[in-house]
A and B are shown apart, each in its own frame.
Chain A
Amino acid sequence: VKPRIIIHGGAGNIRRESMTADQYQQYRHSLLSILIASQITSTDVYMRTPKEIATYAVVKLENDPLFNSGHGAVFTRDGINELEASVMVSRGFAKRAVGVTGLRTIKNPILLAKAMLEHGDRDLVGNTDLGWAAKVALENEADDPELDVPSAQGHTLIHGKTAETLAKKYGLETVDPSYLFTQKRWDEHVRGLEKEKQNRGNATWSIDEYIPQG
């Protein structure tokens, strides 16, 4: 079968007339460069599995402030970033799917979902040959008692603090919440709340501009 890849960066009230040529070129450049980088990665003998390729592409999208995830994520009503991610494979993992939610200090939530998927296989079917994530977790577990929490086991959807502790256990990069902040998203957050206060619409969507819906 011919290998394939497709990526997306969000959908919503993205009107042609409200997008400037510069903005269009920014999105175009980001999407195409991330796509082509992922395509090139797929030819790398170590990155051949679709799990590696898809999560590689999403990590790049998370690091790009144009898109509503990771750096550049939207704010809740309280002005907090709460991130979510998921990964699912059609064949080869007993665990099949993982979701993580309520994350505030993880730089790349998709890597946590990926590590949980791999780790789950160790718990469900005793498969210990899981690659670097599992090995790092074992090392971290040994030398930091705080990380000696039960592993993700067969769990599929994990929220908040426990998920963040697991991320540390797997050696994933944690950041200060301020890393996720971008002025553009903050302005959208403030504008929405003000609009709602003045009864000019609700705070999560606008007919005039693209407000990320997730």
Chain B
Amino acid sequence: TCGAVALDRNGVLCVATSTGGITNKLTGRIGDTPVVGAGFWAEEWSEKGDPSASRAPWGRLTEYLEMPGPIVELTSTLRNFLADCLPTPFMYNPLAPRPHPSHARGIDIEVIRSTAVSGTGNGDSFLRVAAARSVASIARWAGVSASDAVNRIAGRGGELEKSAGSRWGKTGEGEGGMIGIECVIAMNKLGTVLYSRSEILQDHNCAGMFRAWIRDDGLAEMKIWHED
């Protein structure tokens, strides 16, 4: 199988996957790649309310809100452009306006999260646990980061491995990996982007996975093994 996940600057994600299937499969066998929620999934959802009570990666949002900074009214597109010019992963944008105090407590902040994943490995195991959609569901409903969710499904000791039972490591059952991208955008009521973050997701429970991505510093990296 091969796959790609891309994110644009508006926070839209796309996952594309293509495969020949399992070697020596029965003719007519359908694997996980075309089955929605098993071998691929892309989802965007909104989380309203006070992020200061939110889970770990949003802790910084509260810090961000507290930071002093000159109030400048810019159009959100221009702000996005400037925000992208600043060093990542933690983007502090001194030009972004401080929200009105009534927003300070984050009540009117909407956090839009999205994640997309592409799976590769023994498709029948991905089908048995609806692996791709499970990643997004865990991230959405358990309030953890998507990379944690990928680890719970495709990492060592994850759902995929458990689904293979005693056959793991003997028949290829439960063997595989996942790649993906998570995106977090926090906006106030005016639609001003206060904070945005995107992260590469990748994990595998088998000996190796061929993958490559563009790092935060803009350099391309390729890996096969965990400890490459």
Asked if chains A and B come from one complex, the reply is yes
Known: A1-B183, A75-B24. A8 touches B40 (CB 8 A): no
- For chain B, the count of residues having a C-beta within 8 Å of the partner chain is 86
- For chain A, the count of residues having a C-beta within 8 Å of the partner chain is 94
What A residues does B8 contact at CB under 8 A? 1, 3, 42, 48-50, 53
Is B6 within 8 A of A3, CB to CB? yes
A31 lies within 8 A of chain B by Cβ: yes
CB distance from A8 to the nearest CB of B (A): 4
What B residues does A82 contact at CB under 8 A? 20-21, 25, 27-29
CB distance from B218 to the nearest CB of A (A): 9
What B residues does A5 contact at CB under 8 A? 4-7, 181, 213-214
Main secondary structure of the interface of A (DSSP, over half): mixed
Among A106-114, A124-132, A140-148, A167-175, the stretch that binds chain B is A106-114
Is B2 within 8 A of A88, CB to CB? no
Known: A8-B211, A77-B25, A110-B18. A84 touches B30 (CB 8 A): yes
Is A90 within 8 A of B43, CB to CB? yes
User: Which of A6, A75, A202 sits near B5, CB closer than 8 Å?
Assistant: A6
CB distance from B36 to the nearest CB of A (A): 5
Give A110's nearest chain B residue, CB to CB. B18
CB distance from A5 to the nearest CB of B (A): 5
Is B18 within 8 A of A83, CB to CB? yes
Main secondary structure of the interface of B (DSSP, over half): strand
> In the bound complex, what is the Cα–Cα distance between A147 and B115 (angstroms)?
37
Q: Give residues of chain B (154-200) contacting chain A, Cβ–Cβ below 8 Å.
A: 169-172, 175-177, 179-181, 183, 185, 196-198, 200
User: Which of A4, A73, A84, A214 sits near B198, CB closer than 8 Å?
Assistant: A4
CB distance from B34 to the nearest CB of A (A): 3
Taken residue by residue from 211 to 225, chain B's Cβ proximity to chain A (1 for < 8 Å, 0 otherwise) reads as: 111101000101011
Known: A14-B210, A74-B20. A50 touches B12 (CB 8 A): yes
Taken residue by residue from 182 to 214, chain A's Cβ proximity to chain B (1 for < 8 Å, 0 otherwise) reads as: 000100110011001000001111010011111
Q: Give residues of chain B (38-71) contacting chain A, Cβ–Cβ below 8 Å.
A: 39-44
> In the bound complex, what is the Cα–Cα distance between A1 and B181 (angstroms)?
12
Taken residue by residue from 109 to 134, chain B's Cβ proximity to chain A (1 for < 8 Å, 0 otherwise) reads as: 00000111010111100000000000
Among B94-102, B137-145, B201-209, the stretch that binds chain A is B201-209
Taken residue by residue from 85 to 100, chain A's Cβ proximity to chain B (1 for < 8 Å, 0 otherwise) reads as: 1111111100011011
User: Which of B6, B28, B208, B225 sits near A38, CB closer than 8 Å?
Assistant: B6
What B residues does A83 contact at CB under 8 A? 18-21
Is B2 within 8 A of A10, CB to CB? yes
Give A113's nearest chain B residue, CB to CB. B16
Known contacts A4-B213, A58-B16, A97-B42; 14 further A-B pairs (Cβ under 8 A): A6-B214, A38-B6, A42-B6, A51-B14, A53-B4, A62-B2, A77-B25, A80-B27, A85-B34, A91-B11, A99-B34, A185-B20, A189-B24, A193-B24
Closest 6 CB pairs of A and B: A73-B20, A99-B34, A205-B172, A14-B208, A9-B210, A61-B2
| 22 chain-A/chain-B pairs, Cβ below 8 angstroms | A1-B8, A1-B84, A3-B6, A6-B180, A7-B3, A9-B211, A10-B120, A11-B204, A16-B208, A19-B224, A58-B17, A82-B28, A86-B15, A86-B39, A87-B40, A91-B12, A110-B17, A202-B171, A205-B122, A205-B172, A213-B23, A214-B22
